[in-house]
Amino acid sequence: MNKTLLEIVLQLIIIYPLIFIFLKNRKKESLKVIAVFSIFFIVNSFLLQLNLVFDSLSLFDGKWNWSGKIYSIIGSILFLVLYRKFKLKDYFLTFKQKSIFLKNGILIVISILIIQVIFTTTGTLFFDSTTEWNSETILFQLTMPGIDEEIAFRGIMLGLLIKVLRSNIRVFGIKIINPAILITSILFGLVHGFYITDSFEIGFNIFAFFFTMSFGIFWG
């Protein structure tokens, strides 16, 4: 559990400089929102790995982390119910988004299949070519990532940061229209590419990072 917590905290620390560079102001209310953002990310990340840390909390047997995704989705729903500072529309969440969840799931499956074919045939070590594509894998990829990540990253966390970050900023001549999308996408990439090993060494899968970060920007 210490390894898991360290991994989560380090991922946050990496993006903090960007958050404070683009922060509208240092007022108490803005800092409170950043604190809420941080707490939500920590809790959400821990819920994703809860059943991996405590075997007794596993809801299903299977290759994929169904239990973690379900715990994470429940956590996001509880956040929306309990934290009433902003409306659902401020998190870009509406009942019309059911189709978005499915579209994201389909995009994930198609993208992973294409990437797997490319990297399996070229022998690259960046991608796990041992994935067994069965009914469980397809069903999981079509549902869980799309729902969980859409609500958490491109819903709650994006919505919170938009409230406190500036927009249409030029950095070294480059115009950044929405820094909140950039930051949540980087964090999304870190979740998939940055990790701590069992021997407490830092690991980084650069392909997984850039691949998922790019998808985060595209979906954002």
Q: Confidence class of residue 120 from pLDDT cuts 50, 70 and 90?
A: very low
In this predicted structure, the answer to whether residue 123 has a pLDDT above a threshold of 50 is: no
Does the predicted TM-score (pTM) go above 0.95? Answer: no
> 12-16, 25-29, 134-138, 195-199: which range is least confident on average?
134-138
Q: C-alpha angle with apex 185: 132 to 133, nearest 5 degrees? A: 10
Please provide residue 202's backbone torsions phi and psi, each rounded to the nearest 5 degrees.
-80, 130
Return the exposure string of 89-125: e unless at least 16 CB atoms fall within 10 Å of the residue's CB, then b. Answer: eebbbeeebeebbeebbebbbeebeebbeebeeeeee
pLDDT at 143: 75
User: End-to-end distance of the chain based on CA atoms, in angstroms?
Assistant: 31
Going by C-alpha positions, the residue among 19, 50, 39, 48 that lies closest to residue 79 is 39
Distance CA 185, CA 149 (A): 11
Q: C-alpha angle with apex 82: 80 to 83, nearest 5 degrees? A: 70
- Tally Cβ neighbours within 10 Å of residue 85: 11
Task: List pLDDT tens digits, range 62-112.
Answer: 788 889 999 999 999 999 999 988 988 888 776 555 555 555 555 655 665
Task: List pLDDT tens digits, range 183-218.
Answer: 999 999 999 899 998 888 999 999 889 988 987 787
pLDDT at 50: 86
Q: Confidence class of residue 55 from pLDDT cuts 50, 70 and 90?
A: confident
